[in-house]
Structure formats: C-alpha cells, structure tokens
Structure 1
Amino acid sequence: MPSDKDIQSVTQIPGVFAAHATNAAAGTGCTVIVCPGGATGGVDVRGGAPATRETDLLRPEETVEVLHAVVLSGGSAFGLAASCGVAEELERRGLGLDVGVARVPIVSGACLFDLACGDPCVRPTAEDGRLACAAALDGESAPLPRGNVGAGTGCTVGKLAGPERAMKSGLGEDVERAGELICGAVAAVNACGDVRDPDTGEKIAGVLDAAGSLADTTEVLLGGYAKMPLARTNTTISCVVTNARLTKAQATKVAQMAADAYAHAICPTHTTNDGDTVFVMATGAVDAPVDVVGALATRALGRAIADGARNATSAYGYVAARDLRSS
C-alpha cells in the first residue's frame, strides 16, 4: 500500500482511473472516473436543478450492485451525452455488467451549466466521453490535473449579482487517509455561492463588489440585490472514491455525509439555482466503520472544493482567486 505522501490523487488509489477531456476554446469539458473492476455506488442529490444520469439505479433498494464509471461534465443537460461515450468505450473493452447477451457498463453522471463561458453551442459529446475514458484506462497513475480542465473548464462562482461580479473557478481534488482507509474527492465547482476554506473559513472566491474585491453572496442575497440573469445555472458536482468495503446503503450514507462538505466550503449552498450532486464509488479493499468513511470523505470533499477555486486561472472574462490576490 502506498504511503500517505504517495497518494496525491484518486488515480493512485488501486483500481481507480481518471482523466479529462478539455475544450479550452469552447470553455467546456468532462471528467471521467473509472473503476473497471466495478465499485459499489451511492449518490446524494441536494440541489434544486440537477442534470443527472443513472442516479435512481444507485438507490439501495435497486438490484444493480455495481458501478463502473462516474462522469462529471459541462454542457448542462446536453453534456449527458458524454456518459454514452464512456459506456461505449467500456463495452468495447469488454467491461460491464454481464446480462447474458451483452455486457452493460453501469455509468452514472451529472452535468453543470457552463454555457455562459466560451461557446454556448459547443458541449461535451459522446466522443469526448469516450476519449476521456480511454485516456483514463490507458494512462499512468499521475495526479489528475486541476483547475481549468475537464468538467472545471467553464466553472464560475458568485453569480448571484450578475456575470460582471462573478469569478472563475475550476476542478479540484483532495485525498485523505486514516490508516489503510483512503478517501479521495474530485469536485467541479460551479456554485451560486462563495467558496471558503473549510478548515479556516477564509473566503477564496465568490461575488465581487463594485470595486472588484470579494463581497459576500449571502449579504447580497439578503440585501435583495439578486439579479442572476439565468436561473438554474449553477452546480457543484463531485465524486468521492474510497477503498472502503461498503454496501449500497452504506455508500448512500457516505454520500449524504459528504454532502455536508458543500456547507463547509460553499455559502450559501443547495439553493434553487444549484444542482448539487455527490457520487460515491467504493472499491471494497478495506473494512472501516461507515461513520469513519463518511467523516474522512467529508474532509476530502471540502478541501477539494477549495482546491477547485484556488487552482482556477482567469478566463472567459472572469478573474480567478490567484489573480485577485496578486492584484
């Protein structure tokens, strides 16, 4: 088992593979997390405007017990096409649930709204999903790139006062460990609210004031200055990967616990304008109490959200936190 310092990315967790497809010119992309040997899946959807695929199948009472991939995608509902490409690539490689006459890969996914960045007519396609899946399975276990990549390419935050006062965000990642238990999280941060450091409370990115400094989205909301030009255009979508051995019911509970990371790192969160979704993939290598897995997953996801804001770079007319600090 790798040491603590060796585990820097979900790609270094045994049995887990991940990669991006990025279209920087169009401001969109997708991120694919693959467990070719199959994982136990769970999901928690708390946002008011989700765009998702195969979330009902992950309910504990449903009969399918395996999950092969999670796709985080831009493109709003159009981006669900990327999951089809992932399923096709997995089938081509002989991976999936054996149903006698074929193998059916079980692929869940969620999309975020990034159409206001780059070209709104370009969205992640089935081919993008296929290429990202192939890159994940054929690549090395190097850390997953973060920032303006994959599903984080067109992410923005703090949009409640209009696009001119919003900021650039991106895709973040964090891996935490407690003994042999590992929990990693990947998050594409496209929230309506502000992003804060979950450990210190420091505000990282969000709504700007008239002078171009960080303001407070909650105060903007309470002050009645909410002029978001398009409703339901925000979503933070995430995947927690753990080597814990979980049932579907336990994976669902871990997803519910991990969703609290949104409240730790985003304010306000789970609004009617957000489609927040958290997936869980458990590879089953280590026995651990569910509450321990949930607590570790929550820490990883909160830090991944902050990481997504910190690693973004200014683009598409939106300033990123790193440039706001330097200015």
Structure 2
Amino acid sequence: MASQMIVNSEQGSIVDVPGLQVGHFTLSQRLTGCSVVLAPDGAVGAVDVRGAAPGTRETDLLDPANLVDKVHAVLLSGGSAFGLDAASGVVRWLDEHGIGFETGYGRVPIVPAAVLFDLPVVRPGEDPKARPGPDAGYAACEAASRKTPDAGNVGAGAGACVGKLFGLDRCMKGGIGNASVRVGPWVVGALVACNAVGDVIDPATGQVLAGARTADGLSLLDTQRALLKGERGHRPLPGTNTTIGVVATNATLTKAQAKRLAMSAHDGLARSIRPAHTTLDGDTLFAMATGTESSQADLMLLTAMAAEATALATVDAIRHAQSIQSVTGPVPAANHLAA
C-alpha cells in the first residue's frame, strides 16, 4: 500500500524534527524581533533565494561546492539590514556553549541569517530606531526549546505586514508561523516569517486570507486580480517586503540534496502568496537536515513535503497574526477583517 502524506493534525512545527530547537525574542521598544532555529549537533544546511532584494548573511558557504557542510543555527530577523547584527549574538551564545565547526584552533559557530523589512511598523510611543541586535539574538537562543514555537506577532514576524502594493495604509498584519508534515519515518517542518508584498492565499480553497484592502479598508482587494485588470498602486521600494523561513527534515541529506529541499520549499510560497518572488521581495528559504533518520532518503517525497509544510506555515502565520494600531493607522489581521 502506498504511503500517504499526513499533515500533523495539530499543525505541528519545525521542532517536530529531532535535533532542533526554536526561540523567539520580541523587542519591548518596538514591534520587531528575531527567531532562531538551533541545531546543537549541527545540521546539513542549504539556502535558496528567489526574491530580488534579499538581506542575508553566510549564504555563500551553503553552496554545495563549498567546504562547510553543517550549520549550527539559522537566524530570521526583522529590522532590515540592521537585524543581521542579531546573528552575532547567536554566534556568541553558541561559542559559550562550545558549539561550532572545529578548526583546530577552536570551534567556530556557523550561523546563516536572513532579514525582513519591518521598519515602517511603529506603534504610538514606540522607538522607531529600535532594531534587533546581538543581545536580541542571544536572548532568542536563551529562549530556545523543543516546545512548539509561538506564532503570529512574535520574533521575526512581530512587525511583518502583507499586501503592501497599494500602500501601507491598505496592508494587513503578517507574522511568523509553523507546520510539519510526516510520511513514514520522515518528518519535514517549516518556520516562516511572512512579510510579503503580495496577498496570502489558502492553497486548499484559493481564498485570499490577508493582503491589500479596498480603498475603504473594509474588504480584501485581491492584489493579483487587480494587477491583471491594470490597476496600479503606490509602488513600494524594493526590499521593503520579503518572506523568510527555514524548512527542516530528519532525513540524512547531502548539501546538494538539502539545496533541492530549499528550492522546492519555494513552491509552497508560490502556492500561498500571490504574487510571490517579486522584484520587491527578498524571499529566502534555508534548509536544515539533522540526519537523525538514517534510511535512504526519498528526495521526491521530501521535496513535496517541504512545499506542503512551507505553504501551511505561511498560512499559519496569517491565522495567528493580531491586529495592531501603527502611527500610520490601523493594520488589521485576517481574523479581525473576517469579523
């Protein structure tokens, strides 16, 4: 009897993959933060960048042709390029715990990172200059555990918004979400921080869940349909959006195979974000393979699972997002607009 894909009935998360821990840190001074996926025993790492305006760190070493094959953490952060500083705090935490690539002169932690642009999201009384830095990355590591991570307005998804092609005054709240998929001995989990310029779609129904609103702010516009009808909005600056995430598996993979996993995970973004991978986004997905399952990997199956988990995690981010009041006006969440 053929195996069937079974989505975790409780949605699941990336920590369903043995060997991983997740921690969030959300700043008190402004709605922004960072999220870390720790792999204390190391995980084969890879990355695939599909957006045209990425903000990343340590991605070249993940090329299958390059030397280092394992990462010890992946950081996702708000704060645009400033948020890349948070990775230094993750490196410091790993160094203090003796985790890293053995050089013969000490262990060097390998921590790739990606950031999203949440600088416009400022609530009344908040400090617009507050951004995740090294202390935030360190705090996220301190908070990391095997517990199912929180979702919505936390960590890297704290200041995320979606549907910005027709102006910030018509966007909706994004966030960070989780999912996992199991088939036989394999599990694939995803953690996605969604800050897309496009709308977020429920792949099961095709329904727009959150995105650009109509001019009166009361209902959803459907960005792609509006674009195809010739409507044009206030074009955001490139790089002011971006969906970033990690897809992970317990399978034993090479770097080249992990790269295929990251590439296929982007299919999940294309199913759940419309339009995706635009010139205004820096969409970046990392892959991590912990290798706790030693049976020969079925890469065809694993890539299908990666796309499914990524789509589910993107939708989860939107379903858990909460409305906020920013200095530019209300930013409703999907549950608020539906009500």
TM surpasses 0.5 = yes
Q: 1:5: Cα distance to partner?
A: 5.9
Find the aligned partners of 2:260 and 2:9 in 1 and give their Cα distance: 28
CA distance in 1, matches of 2:266, 2:161: 20
Hey, what's the Cα distance between the residues in 2 that align with 1:28 and 1:173?
Answer: 18
Task: Indicate the SS of the match to 1:183.
Answer: strand
Task: Label 1:6 to 1:311 Cα distance change in 2 as closer, same or farther (>3 A).
Answer: closer
Which aligned segments of 4 or more residues in structure 1 are displaced greater than 6 angstroms?
A: none
Q: Distance in 2 between matches of 1:120 and 1:75?
A: 10
| TM-score normalised by length of structure 1 | 0.95
Q: How does 1:1-327 map to 2 (within 5 A)?
A: 8-23=12-27, 25-118=29-122, 119-136=127-144, 139=145, 141-211=146-216, 212-222=218-228, 223-286=230-293, 287=295, 288-315=297-324, 316=326, 317-326=330-339
- Aligned residues between the structures: 321
8 Å CA contact 2:208–2:222 kept in 1: the answer is: no
- The SS at the match of 2:313 is helix
Q: Which 5+ residue runs of structure 1 have no aligned equivalent?
A: none
Whether the aligned pair in 1 keeps the contact of 2:86 and 2:134 (CA below 8 Å) is: yes
The one-letter amino acid paired with 1:217 is T
Letter in 2 for 1:69: A
**What's the C-alpha RMSD, in Å, of the aligned pairs?**
1.6
Task: Return the alpha-carbon distance in structure 2 between the equivalents of residues 5 and 197 of structure 1.
Answer: 17
Moved more, 17-26 or 45-54: 17-26
**CA distance in structure 1 between the aligned counterparts of 2:46 and 2:39, rounded to whole angstroms:** 14
Deviations 1:72-117 (A, max 9, x none): 0000011000111101110110000010111100001100000011
* Percent of matched pairs sharing the same residue: 48
Q: Deviations over 1:181-202 (max 9, x none)?
A: 0000000000000000122211
Q: Deviations over 1:103-146 (max 9, x none)?
A: 1000011000000112431110101001111221xx4x221000
Stretches of structure 2 lacking an aligned partner (at least 5 in a row): 1-6
Alignment check: 8 A CA contact 2:16 2:187 kept: no
SS at match of 1:106: coil
Farther off after superposition, 273-282 or 309-318: 309-318
Paired letter, 2:150: P
Answer yes or no: is the 8 Å Cα contact 2:58–2:112 preserved in 1: yes
Q: Structure 1, residues 39-63: CA drift from partner, whole Å, max 9, x if none?
A: 0011100101000011111000001
**Cα deviations across residues 204-246 of structure 1 (Å, max 9, x unaligned)?**
0000002320011123334242213533201000100110110
